[in-house]
Structure 1
């Protein structure tokens, strides 16, 4: 998908860019860049859209995003309220394996690391069991420079390549390339749905945001996102429900269902299992056992 092409400022004396973000909310537009990105979410919550797949994020999650992989870390709606005092904090590492580092990855000694990078083009989330050691290594990279930083970076890649249970953020199937204008339009639709998921949203409502008829909107959305409007809306709602079920802010599952836009607990349970393959109670049990 051709979306906003973001240019990462690269210092002349750096091949690895380390960035600490402290902002009211994450960059709000669907975008991509040549660099691979590792993001450690230290503060903030919301939904990550990577290619055409959605993943809830919360503090202490770590994500790897492939080169030129369209993505947006969409902060929860509360971060955009006029009087909000919330902020996001993230430690981000960028590197371009085809840029200044290309010669490093062409060495026979780093063949396994190059293979790992090539196999991770769809991105992944670091499993909770490994976040402590990965975040520690990211801090070591942040606090070093020169040759030491490069060695720490290589060590991080070696560590990541040794993990066996990395689940891709996106499926192998890709949506068709679209123009930048269409990419912006899709990003606007994503934003509209994510900001209004807790309210009744009809196909006609979404079509109006794209300035299209409902029939044309259905064809456009399915062609370029591989989702129907309803399946995308359901995934957004279930992602939000997963966060609410595990943050301890709600008394029961029914309350979560209604605050995420579902009008019946039966429908919520059915959709939840379709999206996650688990019932809400099974999901909670699995989550707290892993944490």
Structure 2
């Protein structure tokens, strides 16, 4: 497994390419491509890793990925047990920023779009749930049209992004020069995959360092260099993401049960990490979600 340099089938005739995936699972490889990407999650849930950022995703979420930004939408483990053909449904819009706009950016009408695209290098997510609902028909309109009509629909979507949406969540932890060479991408993907598959167990530095084929001491320096966070911080992010999913789905009997099911060795440690990550204690998060 590696950071695959994914090739989007951009033809000489189409400036905007749409790929609608209806599959048992989302594309299970850390990958990147030179095109920017707009994604609407229609069905399915899991964990998104974009650069050195980790979070849960769910139906209705809308993302804008930057050009050459390594990312993976990894399906929930439950999807692998329940192998239906339509577990994962997403609409992806790919466009070459330089190709599609090089002759348009100087136009005054493109001012807002240009400023918006300049902010997408590390990826963005629409925050407001009501706005997500408004965007779904616009994205589907791009998907269902073709040729000139698709181009016009897409520019209207970008205009909506740039002028109508006020709240965006940046998929960045603040390290602006983050990148993976291909050779390192192979190793990082193996680390990501191993962590997401074994987060509910005790993972030692020796175990994960063996996946990377380096010593534990070298692994700590290597992981911190490429992600600007410790491996334990990354592992805890994965575990808290999974804990939040269990709370939202109602898949728990107690807070202690969530703690042990997501790999924590004590409820006290779980409570501490949960509050540090989300700003709320587990019980506060449960109350907040039920109220919402």
Q: TM-score per shorter chain, which class?
A: over 0.9
Q: Which residue of 2 aligns with 1:61?
A: 61
> What's the CA shift string for 1:94-127, capped at 9, x where partnerless?
1111013321233221011111110122211112
Q: Which residue of 1 aligns with 2:42?
A: 42
- Cα displacement (A) at 1:53: 0.7
Q: In 2 relative to 1, CA 288–90 (structure 1 residues): closer, same or farther, beyond 3 Å?
A: farther
Which runs of 5 or more structure 1 residues have no equivalent in the other structure?
none
Q: Is the 8 A contact 1:19 1:91 kept in 2?
A: yes
* Residue 163 of structure 1 pairs with residue 165 of structure 2: yes
- Cα displacement (A) at 1:250: 2.2
Q: Which structure 1 residue ranges, 4+ long, deviate > 3 Å from structure 2?
A: 78-81, 83-86, 174-179, 284-290
Question: Aligned partners of 1:92, 1:182: CA distance in 2, in Å?
Answer: 26
Q: Which residue of 2 aligns with 1:76?
A: 76
* Residue 219 of structure 1 pairs with residue 225 of structure 2: no
Question: Aligned partners of 1:289, 1:119: CA distance in 2, in Å?
Answer: 33
* More moved, 15-24 vs 248-257: 248-257
Q: In 2 relative to 1, CA 288–20 (structure 1 residues): closer, same or farther, beyond 3 Å?
A: farther
SS at match of 2:55: strand
- Cα displacement (A) at 1:188: 0.4
Q: In 2 relative to 1, CA 179–65 (structure 1 residues): closer, same or farther, beyond 3 Å?
A: closer
- Cα displacement (A) at 1:287: 4.1
Q: In 2 relative to 1, CA 286–117 (structure 1 residues): closer, same or farther, beyond 3 Å?
A: farther
> What's the CA shift string for 1:141-172, capped at 9, x where partnerless?
12222332222212211211222211101133
Which runs of 5 or more structure 2 residues have no equivalent in the other structure?
none
Q: Is the 8 A contact 2:36 2:65 kept in 1?
A: yes
* More moved, 255-264 vs 140-149: 140-149
Q: Which residue of 1 aligns with 2:276?
A: 274
- Cα displacement (A) at 1:175: 5.7
- Cα displacement (A) at 1:76: 2.0
